[in-house]
């Protein structure tokens, strides 16, 4: 059989290909033929490509590992599953089975949690925009509401007057924990006195009763000391508020932000080195709590971890559909999944594995998606051997934020499956077809397309 023509390639000689420990890991071919013992071939044959695959085993293991890291160090811990990170019903239901309450940041997410059967008392309602109707429902159903701004205070006071009863609320703080740029757009600032002023106003209004403090300092926090500062400031502020207004702070919600083992673009060290161990994080947070809380005080510690719980459990399988050389000589591949599905490729350099052994010289490649849009590149600068059409890439970690931030733009969204602990595979979200795209559209009669 005639071999396909491959243009000769000149590669700069690289020192360090071999060292005394063996091969340079950057050059090692990463091959993955299965996910939790289910073959990639079988998955694609049955459910198509592209395909999102979740591992139930990984999800449950991560949840239990992280929950025990905190609950063995502090006696009163509650996890709030951050819906925005992944609100596929099966993922949320699994988190609730493991014991998490729901943490939602919009009316849509609130409704999603309720539709799943989560009672109001097991919902934490955060976010900068809570429409009045959503607030009314959340109050009626006993949800935990963390207030973001003064307008929300006025809305809640209005609801309180209408119900003729006081409403218990928490407030969201923003503070300097050494993470810059500081996230100051959510909640009330601690250091400038804005938060204290807001609480003064809440106390004077006599309609709301403050019972909790919430703060999410940012995301992908690699520095445990930031949480230490956050916890110390929150506890000290809680005592100040209790003393000044007689409120009793029942929970300290430290938000999420714990990193997954993904590779944040621009991070020099690989994730295995850069990302601190969760036990270390939990230890430092636990110690900060015991240092700052008075003996016998154990307010509820709420943790809203998102990516650290779900990212590693998700994989995106995509197939090479074409290859080409760019004018500068770079080898480019076109895959059937792009930024429409892997939104997080804007900030992560994902791990890319091949579904088979491939011989040939590694080249620096760019991987484009199927969108007719210049920014649709899911990876630039990965060394890959010559890939033939149909070769599949297994991209991970892909479990956080992709199935919520994905776009339905010129392509259908594909199947999402879950590999169960016993190896069974379930579709947890069906691939879309045209009916999903046009379902909500209305075509006025006068625009009807005439065939002639």
Q: Which CB sits closer to ligand PLP, 330 or 405?
A: 405
- Helical residues (DSSP H) of 220-259, grouped into ranges: 224-245
**Residue corresponding to tokens 């993922």:** 91
Q: Which CB sits closer to ligand PLP, 205 or 218?
A: 218
Residues in Cβ contact with 374 at an 8 Å cutoff, skipping those fewer than 6 apart: none
- Beta strands of 262-362 (E only): which ranges? 300-303, 314-325, 331-335, 351-354
CB of 39 to ligand PLP, least distance (A): 31
- Helical residues (DSSP H) of 29-149, grouped into ranges: 40-47, 56-71, 89-98, 107-116, 132-140
Q: Are strands 377-384 and 363-368 parallel, antiparallel or unpaired?
A: antiparallel
Q: Which CB sits closer to ligand PLP, 224 or 257?
A: 257
**CA separation for the pair 439, 136 (Å, rounded):** 30
Q: Which CB sits closer to ligand PLP, 264 or 383?
A: 264
**Residue corresponding to tokens 């621009």:** 266
Element (H, E) at 438: helix 434-438
CB of 221 to ligand PLP, least distance (A): 8
Residues in Cβ contact with 12 at an 8 Å cutoff, skipping those fewer than 6 apart: none
Q: Which CB sits closer to ligand PLP, 303 or 320?
A: 303
CB of 308 to ligand PLP, least distance (A): 6
Q: Which CB sits closer to ligand PLP, 60 or 200?
A: 60
Q: Which CB sits closer to ligand PLP, 43 or 124?
A: 124
**CA separation for the pair 120, 413 (Å, rounded):** 31
CB of 404 to ligand PLP, least distance (A): 11
Site residues, ligand PLP (CB under 6 A): 82, 84-85, 103, 126, 216, 219, 255-258, 304-308, 400
CB of 276 to ligand PLP, least distance (A): 14
The tokens for 194 are: 């804005």
As a three-state string, the secondary structure of 186-225 is CCEECCCCHHHHHHHHHHHHCCEEEEEEECCCCCCCCCHH
CB of 264 to ligand PLP, least distance (A): 12
CB of 215 to ligand PLP, least distance (A): 9
């Amino acid at each position: 059989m005639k071999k396909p023509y491959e243009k000769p390639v000149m590669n700069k000689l690289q020192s360090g290909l071999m060292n005394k420990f063996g091969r340079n890991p950057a050059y090692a071919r990463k091959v993955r033929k299965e996910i939790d013992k289910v073959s990639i071939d079988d998955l694609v044959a049955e459910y198509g490509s592209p395909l999102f695959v979740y591992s139930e085993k990984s999800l449950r293991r991560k949840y239990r590992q992280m929950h025990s890291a905190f609950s063995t160090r502090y006696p009163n811990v509650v996890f709030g599953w951050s819906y925005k990170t992944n609100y596929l019903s099966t993922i949320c239901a699994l988190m609730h089975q493991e014991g998490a309450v729901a943490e939602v940041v919009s009316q849509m997410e609130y409704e999603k949690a309720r539709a799943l059967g989560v009672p109001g008392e097991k919902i934490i309602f955060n976010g900068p925009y809570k429409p009045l109707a959503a607030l009314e429902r959340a109050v009626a159903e006993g949800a935990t509401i963390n207030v973001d701004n003064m307008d929300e205070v006025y809305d809640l006071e209005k609801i309180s007057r209408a119900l003729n009863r006081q409403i218990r609320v928490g407030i969201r703080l923003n503070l300097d924990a050494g993470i810059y740029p500081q996230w100051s757009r959510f909640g009330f600032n601690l250091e400038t006195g804005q938060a204290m002023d807001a609480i003064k106003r809440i106390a004077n209004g006599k309609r709301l009763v403050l019972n909790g403090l919430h703060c999410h300092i940012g995301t992908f926090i690699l520095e445990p000391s930031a949480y230490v500062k956050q916890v110390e400031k929150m506890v000290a502020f809680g005592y100040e508020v209790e003393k000044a207004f007689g409120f009793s702070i029942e929970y300290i919600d430290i938000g999420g932000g714990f990193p997954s083992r993904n590779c944040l673009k621009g991070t020099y060290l690989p994730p295995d080195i850069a990302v601190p161990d969760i036990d270390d994080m939990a230890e430092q947070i636990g110690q900060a709590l015991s240092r700052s809380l008075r003996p016998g005080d154990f307010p509820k510690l709420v943790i809203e971890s998102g990516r650290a719980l779900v990212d590693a459990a998700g994989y995106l399988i995509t197939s090479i559909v074409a290859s080409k050389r760019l004018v500068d000589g770079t080898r480019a591949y076109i895959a059937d999944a792009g930024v429409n599905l892997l939104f997080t490729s804007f900030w992560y350099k994902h791990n890319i594995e091949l579904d088979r052994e491939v011989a040939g010289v590694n080249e620096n490649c760019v991987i484009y998606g199927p969108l007719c849009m210049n920014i649709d590149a899911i990876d630039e600068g990965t060394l890959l051997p010559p890939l033939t059409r149909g070769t599949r890439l297994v991209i991970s970690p892909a479990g956080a934020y992709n199935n919520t931030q994905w776009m339905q733009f010129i392509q259908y969204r594909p199947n999402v499956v879950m590999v169960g602990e016993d190896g069974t595979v379930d579709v947890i979200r069906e691939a879309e077809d045209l009916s999903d795209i046009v379902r909500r559209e209305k075509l006025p009669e006068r625009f009807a397309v005439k065939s002639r």
